Amino acid sequence: MSNSQIKSGWIRNVAPAPGGYHGSDQPGLPFGWWNANRRYTIYMLREASSVFVALWALRFLMQLGRLRRGKEAYDGFVRAQRHPLWVLFNLISLGFAALHSVTFLQLAGVVQTVRLGERKLPPEQVTAGAFAGWAAASLTVIGALLFGGLRSRKSETEEV
């Protein structure tokens, strides 16, 4: 157990960490601390997922912004997204987004208390409900993206 002091003068007790991480005498955490064991690595990956999720949201907004500039501009954006490097980046983003979903929804059971009248639902049931919600939401999105707006294309020739 050691105390570490940071610039603001705040002193914290550093508890012995489980699973093989050994603290350092230097203030703050050593740079590679998340490499010490798998849990820490997953934790840092989970935190990183928010970067990919937010970047996706921004890119989607940029794509929608192209709608104003006409069909050419919009189709150009969509075509650019077919580049193998973009597909690779999006596969990585999908991996991070899924990691975020799994870790966040697992936590739902731990932090969210659901009461039905007098009865408190056990955490496993809350988590199961969260995953069921994920499935329902995903199906809604998939349905909207597969079938949404089809009427607007009726008079046009089908895309290959």
Q: Residue 23: which of 8, 13, 11, 10 has the closest Cα?
A: 13
Contact between 35 and other proteins by CB under 8 A: the answer reads no
Contact pick of 1, 3, 8, 19 for other proteins (by CB under 8 A): 8
Nearer to other proteins, 32 or 117 (CB): 32
Question: In which region does residue 69 sit, left (phi positive, over 0), alpha (psi from -120 to 50) or beta (all else)?
Answer: alpha
- Rounded CA gap, 147 and 15, in Å? 54
Contact between 7 and other proteins by CB under 8 A: the answer reads yes
Q: What is the dihedral of CA 50, 52, 55, 57, to 10 degrees?
A: -70
Contact pick of 2, 14, 38, 47 for other proteins (by CB under 8 A): 47
SS3 11: strand
Contact pick of 2, 12, 110, 120 for other proteins (by CB under 8 A): 12
Question: In which region does residue 139 sit, left (phi positive, over 0), alpha (psi from -120 to 50) or beta (all else)?
Answer: alpha
Contact pick of 54, 110, 113, 122 for other proteins (by CB under 8 A): 54
Q: In sequence order, what DSSP letters do the residues of 102-155 get, joined into one string?
A: HHHHHHHHHH---EETTEEPPHHHHHHHHHHHHHHHHHHHHHHHHHTTGGGGTT
Contact between 86 and other proteins by CB under 8 A: the answer reads yes
Contact between 2 and other proteins by CB under 8 A: the answer reads no
Please identify, among the stretches 14-22, 121-129, 132-140, the one whose residues bind other proteins according to the rule CB under 8 A.
Answer: 132-140
Site for other proteins, rule CB under 8 A:
6-8, 10, 12, 27-31, 34, 44, 47-48, 50-51, 53-54, 56-58, 60-61, 63-65, 67-68, 71, 74-75, 78, 81-82, 86-87, 90-91, 93-94, 97-98, 100-101, 104-105, 108, 133-134, 137-139, 141-142, 144-153, 156, 159
